[in-house]
Structure 1
Amino acid sequence: MLKNKLIFATVAVSSACAFSLPALAGDGIIDEARIGIYDHNSNLAATRHETNNPDINAELLFKAPAWLQWMAKPRINLGANINTGNGTSIAYTGLVWDYNFTDAFFIEGGFGGAIHNGETSRQTASKLNMGCRVMFHENISLGYRVTNNSSVMLTVDHMSNASLCSSNPGLTDVGIRYGYTF
């Protein structure tokens, strides 16, 4: 039931954003929109305990607000990793910092919080026991700017509760994303 609500909410927000994105970007609120595909609960990071169905990632990055300039100008993100099978899906938000090696190559790191539709009290055949509903969310990307507006990124995306709950297996996705900067 929670998965259906999470998917419905993501579709509703995505639809609203799709219609309002050009206006919001033109006003300078939205800085970048991203979409990608992730290896869900990747066995590159650890033994896979969830479905091997991929995740679809969608993310908006907002321009760094003036009140966060003292923190090295992070952008605020809002995103979701929607599993295409019966695995855990998440919605997340946080702060994202960029560092440019050159005009084309960059690295990016993000930290914030997430909520998921996975299990919190038991493990099933397709879902880990995450222990808590609300989690920490981190990601790191290595990117390349193809043009002034387009970039591609290799991303590692992680969610865990930092052992604040009795179970803390964490969930790590690895994948590729495309970003369009307005």
Structure 2
Amino acid sequence: MFLKRFALAALAAAPFFCASMPANAEGLLTELRIGVLDHDSDLLRTRHETGDPDINIEARFASPDFLSWAFAPNPLIGANINTGNGTSLAYAGLGWTFYLTDDFFTDFTFGGAIHDGETTTPSSGSRQYGCSVSFHESFSLGYDLDKHNAIMVSVDHMSNASLCDENDGLTNLGIRYAYRF
């Protein structure tokens, strides 16, 4: 519970931190995203966890030269913090953005996550994730409002790819805002 409160306090402070950062395209931090996700969304399958939303925050960094062979993905770190008693997770990975038109884009991420959900003993209000460490993927469709601001609809998924005995997985749907430096 302390970790969730700390993460929520850090999330609340993020806009003030961002406002003090230089808008410099050559900096290490290239983009910040924040959003609200429908936790364990029942639009895709039966919800087993809380209906309390997740707050998503994600930081993206400049693509290092050695990743140019892989379409120059951006390293990223992020978190989905559940506002109730549902599973929260922290993740890291790589993200690729591809433009469909001048303003519309699609975005894919792949990496790993660590979560605080149930791994062995499910209850009526939880899923059984099997492992504390899992894979994390997301897909977004977005629109650039201008040079620095974008909005996107996102699907966020975590599962262990059946590397552990149980593999319920967690899928969230939502909307996110991005600010590019």
TM-score, normalised to structure 1, is 0.91
Structure 2 match to 1:69: 68
Indicate whether 1:119 and 2:134 are aligned: no
Moved more, 65-74 or 151-160: 65-74
Paired amino acid for 1:150:
N
**Structure 1 pair 131–21 and aligned structure 2 pair: CA distance change class (3 A):** farther
Structure 2 match to 1:19: 17
Structure 1 match to 2:140: 141
In angstroms, what is the RMSD of aligned CA positions?
A: 2.0
Do the aligned partners of 1:156 and 1:173 also contact (CA within 8 Å) in 2? yes
Structure 1 match to 2:150: 151
**Structure 1 pair 17–91 and aligned structure 2 pair: CA distance change class (3 A):** farther
Deviation at 1:123, TM superposition (A): 1.0
Do the aligned partners of 1:34 and 1:180 also contact (CA within 8 Å) in 2? yes
Determine helix, strand or coil for the equivalent of 1:132: coil
Paired amino acid for 1:122:
T
Cα deviation code 1:127-158 (max 9, x no counterpart): 21111000000000000001111000000000
Cα deviation code 1:77-97 (max 9, x no counterpart): 110000011000000010001
Runs of 4+ in 1 over 6 A off after TM superposition: none
TM-score, normalised to structure 2, is 0.91
For the residues of structure 1 that align with 2:11 and 2:38, how far apart are their CA atoms?
24
For the residues of structure 2 that align with 1:127 and 1:143, how far apart are their CA atoms?
31
Paired amino acid for 2:3:
K
Deviation at 1:110, TM superposition (A): 0.4
Determine helix, strand or coil for the equivalent of 2:128: coil
Deviation at 1:4, TM superposition (A): 2.6
Structure 2 match to 1:58: 57
Structure 2 match to 1:175: 174
**Structure 1 pair 69–13 and aligned structure 2 pair: CA distance change class (3 A):** farther
Paired amino acid for 1:54:
P
For the residues of structure 2 that align with 1:24 and 1:93, how far apart are their CA atoms?
24
1:95-114 alignment to 2 at 5 Å?
Answer: 95-114=94-113
Deviation at 1:17, TM superposition (A): 8.8
**Structure 1 pair 15–98 and aligned structure 2 pair: CA distance change class (3 A):** same
Aligned residue-pair number: 180
**Structure 1 pair 18–79 and aligned structure 2 pair: CA distance change class (3 A):** farther
* Percent identity over paired residues: 50
Determine helix, strand or coil for the equivalent of 1:129: coil
Deviation at 1:45, TM superposition (A): 1.5
Structure 1 match to 2:81: 82
For the residues of structure 1 that align with 2:20 and 2:64, how far apart are their CA atoms?
19
Do the aligned partners of 2:7 and 2:81 also contact (CA within 8 Å) in 1? no
